[in-house]
Structure 1
């Protein structure tokens, strides 16, 4: 299969995954937000940092190392599998033992039992890392899409049933465990791989030398990302953390959906041409410009329609989340660009540079967070540090990318500027339109979305923005595949 065909096929199934998987998650989130209280989401928000950091340690960057390696053996896979499993068991033991201390820190008695149960996802996840890496390496996103959609439907249905039965925060706990359990079971069913009874030290050293730097950079990124949850959970009421947690969740369903779709397709594809400099640079330019063309208007548009969106979908009790969500959308504009720039460094094997970047970026973010707390800016001030950090991080990532390929930071900014300007013009108009339609939230929402899409396409067409044609050329094969599947 050619590079273009492989990419289009990957994009098609990732797009299907995006629409089905994240669409279903979004519907489940809407229902849960109406059934549960902000406090329930706040309790889960308190422990997300522990689960996310632990998951990063369990993976240890080995999955990315396996995907990048073009000559992986059965011994390599088996070695990494046993390492992941051992680490997950060790971390589960640590979290089980320290659960009461965490509960005391947050002054939330329920946390002890919740942490001891929810931490089981670490062990379950460790059993799926190799299976998922093998499918990604083969660019088999068709199978991954089937697995994720089935898992989201089954776990979502179970979660809603439990929430309707009055189990409160435990419905969110069961959702995480059920989702990961079903995904793991299906990965083993569809990907017929069994580990050998072997652990090769040479294989471990080979992948560890690349993976541990990704692990450290990932840990730094995860710690700072979830530090907001810890600070808000400790310094403010639980319901405020609930408002923030739900705002983050909705923003992530949109922004990180784009990030994961682009990253998981481009990384294995770009890895396959890592020695062909011209093709690599051309592919990178196309990906980053198209990603911005999609993500910029999505994030700006969501910020513009935030209030009617939250009222229609979640109800009046979630209005305090609106301002958090709007600021988070502005921060989310640059997330795909950060990931794509980092992809190039991973493809080039520059995990040491990735680690260096994270240390620089998070040192600056730490200064901003401390200043925000000392000056008493509250939750709004904290989120503004995230907005500022996202833009500065893009400049840093693009600077280091330019060292590896012939595509400077200035060139990136110049290429992204048309999408950026058009998005904000569209966003301002959509926001102002909403002021004149304040009587019916649903009608306002529908009109704002329609006007926003129309303005963005028309202005892009008038200014002859190349990415509009690029997107059309990408979507056309997808539509043909969908039509062929229906027929």
Structure 2
């Protein structure tokens, strides 16, 4: 297999999917934010916290284990065993949610509306094992074209359903079905894409092979959820659903953009990291090249967002979300600070070190995030949560850079070298406008800012941009 071509093909189809689905997703979020209220986003945030934790146990790491496992050590029994284990396990979990966990969530938040919301949202857990193995198969084949088509087609369809429900006045249920619909619609598409027909085979040895790796990735995934959802849990419990709605909105505008862009490359790079897990030099090269590209895509736009937060959010969403403006700025800085850790978990896991990944996530979640988020939220509300998130991000990056150096020989200076151009591109227009405080309307300022930003890209990243354009053109001609 030509690895370079596989990466290029994967990135191409993932970028295409993300451009279409995220552009459509942004338009959908724009409409939903105008049609719905912070309370609606707060309710869905409360329910999603618990669903996210439970979802980790639902997968038990089998998808990642199938992708990571070398072909010569994998046969049909592993796929069949994983499929039926997932089906039975998800049924048990859904029953627990329906009869036990959903009522407990209602009591925890003292919010009766959550009972039906949690039970319907949990359908995504019940149905997800029907497509999990197929995703692993397509990923191992590097068939990102089919993965991308299924992802963006179901996402757009779900968005249309959500908008219709919002227009009809169904409120929070528009957001609920925006989550559940893609899972249901993807089931027949994944079966058609892989022609995978599960036989009634369950093998104990195959289960032990998969579960032995999956137990570490499950632990890592659980700790990732602690990191990403603990702030939602505490804001919802200590501050309230309206504040949680504001906090969720700020996250969507910033951190979710970062996560989705990185996800494009992570989906491609995890099987690549797995394939070259014994070649440290290749892993290092891939990681630094990935860092350079993602930094160019994320850092300058985030600095633009920081400068124009008030004007952009008011123009796009109205004054309904004014309370989110300072939080958006803090989160945007957190996104920039996070850059050195692009796909670090995929690299550690793909290189066959799931226990190391688990230790990293343990320190990140329980030493850095949990104490800071609790203190910040308890004493200072959602602003305290946002600042705690930023401080925890700084500590995580310091620890992550140490791990990258220890495991793969990636030094802090090498990381700085790869992000240097992106920082210069973003900081030049940001500093000019911040220092001189140009006395124009915000949208006229934005036009000038974009011109200066474009010039900075051409000055500091022209060669990199031209190189990747040339690569994509060569791919399209094949």
TM-score tier, shorter chain, comes to over 0.9
Q: Deviations over 1:101-140 (max 9, x none)?
A: 2112212211011111111110111211111111111111
8 Å Cα contact 2:426/2:453 also seen in 1: no
Instruction: Measure, in 2, the Cα distance between the counterparts of 1:34 and 1:443.
Output: 24
Tell me: CA distance 1:322–1:293, structure 2 relative to 1, closer, same or farther (3 Å). same
Deviation at 1:29, TM superposition (A): 0.6
Question: 2-side partners of 1:200 and 1:116: how far apart?
Answer: 32
Cα distance between partner residues in 2 of 1:445 and 1:317: 22
Residue 65 of structure 2 corresponds to which residue in structure 1?
65
Work out whether 1:366 is the aligned partner of 2:360: no
Is the contact between residue 81 and residue 127 of structure 1 (CA under 8 Å) also seen in structure 2? yes
Cα distance in 2 for partners of 1:280, 1:144 equals 24
Alpha-carbon distance in 1 for matches of 2:160, 2:63: 30
Compared CA separation, residues 154 and 431, structure 1 to 2 (3 A): farther
Q: Given the alignment of the two structures, is residue 83 of structure 1 paired with residue 88 of structure 2, yes or no?
A: no
1:76, distance to aligned residue in structure 2 (A): 0.5
Q: 1:206 to 1:477 in 2, by over 3 A?
A: same
CA distance in 2, matches of 1:471, 1:389: 33
Measured at CA, do residues 237 and 369 of structure 1 come closer, stay the same or move farther in structure 2, by a change above 3 Å?
Answer: closer
SS in 2 for 1:305: helix
Question: Is contact 2:340–2:415 with CA below 8 Å preserved after alignment?
Answer: no
Within the candidate set 231, 236, 242, 1:233 is matched to: 236
Match of 1:399 among 399, 402, 427: 402
- The 5-angstrom pairing of residues 379-458 of structure 1 reads 379-430=382-433, 436-438=439-441, 442-448=443-449, 450-451=450-451, 453-458=453-458
Tell me the residue number matched to 2:160.
Answer: 157
Cα separation, 1, equivalents of 2:113 and 2:416 = 48
**Matched position secondary structure for 1:354:** helix
Pair 337,181 (structure 1): closer, same or farther in 2 beyond 3 Å: farther
Aligned to 1:215: 218
Q: CA deviation at 1:433?
A: 7.5
Give the match's secondary structure for 1:333. helix
Q: Which moved more, 1:32-41 or 1:234-243?
A: 234-243
Given candidates 461, 467, 470, the residue that maps to 1:473 is 467
Partner of 1:35: 35
Residues 224-283 of structure 1 deviation map (CA, whole Å, 9 limit, x = unaligned): 311111111122232221111112122244211211011111111222222333333222
Q: Deviations over 1:162-209 (max 9, x none)?
A: 110111111111111112211233112222111121111111111222
Indicate whether 1:255 and 2:258 are aligned.
yes
Aligned residues: 474
Matches within 5 A, 1:6-155: 6-71=6-71, 72-96=74-98, 97-155=100-158
Is the contact between residue 335 and residue 390 of structure 1 (CA under 8 Å) also seen in structure 2? yes
> Hey, what's the Cα distance between the residues in 1 that align with 2:49 and 2:458?
43
Deviation at 1:458, TM superposition (A): 4.2
Q: 2:184 aligns with which of 181, 185, 197?
A: 181
Is this contact kept in 2: 1:274–1:348, CA < 8 A? yes
**Are residues 7 and 135 of structure 1, via their aligned partners in 2, closer, same or farther at CA, if it must alter by over 3 Å?**
same
- Does the 8 Å contact 2:105/2:114 carry over to 1? yes
Give the 3-state SS of the residue equivalent to 1:437 in structure 2. Answer: coil
Cα pair distance change 1:223/1:83, threshold 3 Å? same
TM-score by length of 1: 0.91
Task: Tell me if structure 1 keeps the 8 A contact 2:230–2:373.
Answer: no
Whole-Å Cα distance in 2 between the matches of residues 105 and 470 of structure 1?
51
**Does residue 194 of the first structure (1) align with residue 188 of the second (2)?**
no
Rounded Cα–Cα distance in structure 1 between residues aligned with 2:26 and 2:323: 19
Q: In structure 1, how many angstroms separate the alpha carbons of the residues matched to 2:162 and 2:473?
A: 33
Distance 1:368 1:11, change over 3 A: same
Paired with 2:163 and 2:210, the residues of 1 have a C-alpha distance of 41
Write the distance in 1 (CA, Å) between the matches of 2:76 and 2:388: 45
Q: Which residue of 2 aligns with 1:465?
A: none
**Distance 1:18-1:432 versus aligned 2 partners, 3 A rule:** farther
Q: Quickly say closer, same or farther: Cα 1:138–1:125, change in 2 above 3 A.
A: same
1: CA distance, partners of 2:156 / 2:266: 24
Please give the alpha-carbon distance, in whole angstroms, between the structure 2 residues aligned to 1:88 and 1:337.
36
CA distance in 2, matches of 1:50, 1:32: 23
Between the aligned partners of 2:30 and 2:231, the Cα distance in structure 1 is: 23
> In the alignment, is the contact (CA less than 8 A) between 1:56 and 1:219 conserved in 2?
yes
CA contact 1:39–1:238 (8 Å) conserved in 2: yes
Offset, 1:154: 1.4
Q: Distance in 2 between matches of 1:264 and 1:335?
A: 18
Number of the residue aligned with 1:464: none
